Amino acid sequence: MKTTHGTRADGTPITDEMIEAMADEAERGYYVEELRRRRGGQPALGSSPSTVESVRPDPELKRDVLLRASAQGVSVSEAIREALRQHGQAN
């Protein structure tokens, strides 16, 4: 039986062979420019990089946002962004 060490983001098991291959690659060295081109991360949400803002909702508001996000099938962050969009468009 093969030993696994968790799974990749796509669910593929991480095996001893994969770890060996990654270690071999690391020992050979990396090309910095290639790594910069392969940059992952979250996709842009707008025309420029997003900022992170902190808010402290009261327990009732947090519950309402969680329920709304669940009902709409979106993340809490997306529900908050949508609420901010609507608020920003209200005059």
Tens-place pLDDT, residues 18-57? 999 988 888 888 777 776 666 666 666 777 777 888 999 9
Q: What are phi and psi of 6, to 5 degrees?
A: 90, -165
Percent with pLDDT over 70 in the chain:
87
Is-contact 91 76, C-beta < 8 A? no
For the question of whether the overall pTM of this predicted structure is more than 0.75, the answer is no
Which pLDDT does position 41 carry in this prediction?
65
Q: What angle do the packed helices 59-72 and 76-89 form, to 10 degrees?
A: 100
Cβ 5 vs Cβ 14: under 8 Å: yes
Q: Report pLDDT for 38.
A: 62
Q: Give the whole-angstrom CA distance, residue 62 versus residue 43.
A: 26
